Structure 1
């Protein structure tokens, strides 16, 4: 039952007794109503609501007949003026209503933790508190190409899980743990702070809800042990070096029906001999000759795991010019692709034959009237 449902229900009204009713009066009212609405007594009377009414009566009696639960129930309702109702509507709506979260009022996990045992099991039944499994972190290293396209990798995880000998009970073979007598199996104890009760882990069972008299020798009664497992994890396309990927539900197993923790994978990417990365764009340096930049040319540019593309270099292109090739980069979150940024880089020939040397000498003579450093030297003299 939720905190909202519990605070909205008036158990005194359900049993038809005043708030000052003594235990004997509550018991008598319950017996009278139970006889009237018991499912067996209404089996052939066509009273379809009798079963539900009987559940409400029983629920109210279980709380009000227990001195501790009744005290906590009364204190909880008195904090909100009794008959507490959770406001409805939309925040800032036309009617002026607003949503109201009990967790926002007290912080943390909500009012149930603040008011202690009244929000746990009712009716004298012991309930083990569900525990979420711990989060697990690991690392993996991908080739550059797999980081761009995505990949499924095998991850070997070592962590805490149910003990394989006792299967998580913590008890020696042939024995079973018993319900903690102090917390009745809830794993929590309520400490009275005057106006309300504060819930905290039971010191006797350390929050497990169970007490092991004859512990398992393998896990010393904890019910947990270190184990290894291998899982297949999908690393999405476009993951960057150092990025942390969250994989829900692949962490440590939960206890008592609690959900599994999450797995966090830190991805490392190996460098590529040709391509680099700049955000959602791939980068590549393309060697060119001085004549291709001066006279213009069409050059072939490699792409990642695809055919080369042709890029037109206009005459007079400076060294270091970047050409953008759309749709050849990294896949973005919206499904579109970034670009390939190709930077032209002049290569200087190391060995020249006589014909090439003569051609370059002719070029130097033809362009000797122009000093490419003249403007640079002039600007350097400025203050």
Structure 2
């Protein structure tokens, strides 16, 4: 039987480096793979041949022996051990498969893949209710949370003090095991250590080998000025402890601002409705509005102000979160009609009505003029 040169089979020069040989084999293996050439005996034979060639040349020792002795190196107990990489073994193809999907399958070769990352603790959520004044000034709040924290007895290792954690013998400490099924390498979590890569012969009695226990913790939360509904504050490392010394998760504080009796808020702008007397609306004046900082802000009312008019007070709103300056305070005027009049007040109003000409309230007179015109009165 004629033995074809391995380099010729892989279409490579004898001086080709490992990367070139691998790249060439991958291209040829995909081309002649039996799944792509169902029932073609020539493709099956070609696939066997290039797999055998790559199985030899990818191994530095086998390649050195082949370069020196040729095919004779693998006959009669030669340097190659007499085993080719035939269709049934497909070790070369699985190596290429591993190269293509290595990141998905775990990254490292041999011994069952890369070791799983430590299982980080879960993030936790805490909902905190604050007042608008708290949101304006900021505050420091003490909260109490129930979390899984690192075990003090074993310092999070999960092993009884004085004992050690041993490498899992099933996966060699990688946390994953691999099994070859035909041309494919299947990777799964190690059934012995459940992905930890370690085994505890003598578990800590305080945490039952988990490295964490349930605790109640008191934490300080600093609420900065300017926060709004839904603002999230992150406390790094204050979430659930990781399994057996793995990093802890984070604790997220979600802020909820209580409804205020006077103000509503849109961003840094505050809105309020202020009732004023009809005499103030007619004659003008000044009203004092308390801001969220406790200061009184004088708001000027122009003569003839109508109900619904808005007056803006610059810089009297909410502070900018993690910035400078403040928003505005917007006052919506609501003119109130008096309902309780003294005899003297009624007398004065009657006298005022007798002097009305219609020009005092142009909107009113204009409306009734339209009514008369519409109905031909």
Aligned residue for 1:156, secondary structure, equals strand
Distance 1:284 1:219, change over 3 A: same
Ranges in structure 2 where 5+ consecutive residues have no aligned partner: 1-16, 22-55, 66-90
Corresponding residue of 2:39: none
Q: Which of residues 128, 135, 140 in structure 1 aligns to 2:123?
A: 135
Corresponding residue of 1:343: 332
Q: Which of residues 357, 364, 371 in structure 2 aligns to 1:372?
A: 364
Corresponding residue of 1:115: 105
Provide the C-alpha distance between the structure 2 equivalents of 1:234 and 1:120, rounded to a whole number of angstroms: 50
Q: Count residues in correspondence.
A: 295
Corresponding residue of 1:93: none
C-alpha contact 2:150 2:245 (8 A) present in aligned 1? no
Provide the C-alpha distance between the structure 1 equivalents of 2:343 and 2:199, rounded to a whole number of angstroms: 94
How does the TM-score come out when normalised to structure 1? Answer: 0.63
Corresponding residue of 1:240: 228
Provide the C-alpha distance between the structure 2 equivalents of 1:300 and 1:176, rounded to a whole number of angstroms: 72
Aligned residue for 2:295, secondary structure, equals strand
Deviation at 1:309, TM superposition (A): 2.3
Provide the C-alpha distance between the structure 2 equivalents of 1:355 and 1:274, rounded to a whole number of angstroms: 34
Corresponding residue of 1:97: none
Aligned residue for 2:334, secondary structure, equals strand
What pairs up with 1:209-358 in 2 under 5 angstroms?
A: 209-254=197-242, 258-333=246-321, 334-358=323-347
C-alpha contact 2:154 2:204 (8 A) present in aligned 1? yes
C-alpha contact 2:137 2:293 (8 A) present in aligned 1? no
C-alpha contact 1:128 1:256 (8 A) present in aligned 2? no
Deviation at 1:255, TM superposition (A): 5.2
Corresponding position: 1:360 with 2:352: no
C-alpha contact 1:161 1:226 (8 A) present in aligned 2? yes
Deviation at 1:340, TM superposition (A): 0.6
Provide the C-alpha distance between the structure 1 equivalents of 2:302 and 2:181, rounded to a whole number of angstroms: 81
C-alpha contact 2:120 2:249 (8 A) present in aligned 1? yes
Corresponding position: 1:75 with 2:65: no
Distance 1:127 1:336, change over 3 A: same
What pairs up with 1:60-209 in 2 under 5 angstroms?
A: 74-75=95-96, 79=100, 112=103, 114-116=104-106, 118=108, 129-192=117-180, 197=185, 199-209=187-197
C-alpha contact 2:270 2:329 (8 A) present in aligned 1? yes
Cα shift readout 1:262-289 (whole Å, capped 9, x = no counterpart): 2221212223333221232112222311
Deviation at 1:368, TM superposition (A): 7.1
Q: Which of residues 52, 58, 68 in structure 2 aligns to 1:19?
A: 58
What is the alpha-carbon root mean square deviation over aligned residues? 4.1
C-alpha contact 2:284 2:304 (8 A) present in aligned 1? yes
Provide the C-alpha distance between the structure 2 equivalents of 1:271 and 1:200, rounded to a whole number of angstroms: 53
Deviation at 1:169, TM superposition (A): 2.8
When Rg is computed on C-alpha atoms for both structures, the one with the higher figure is: 2
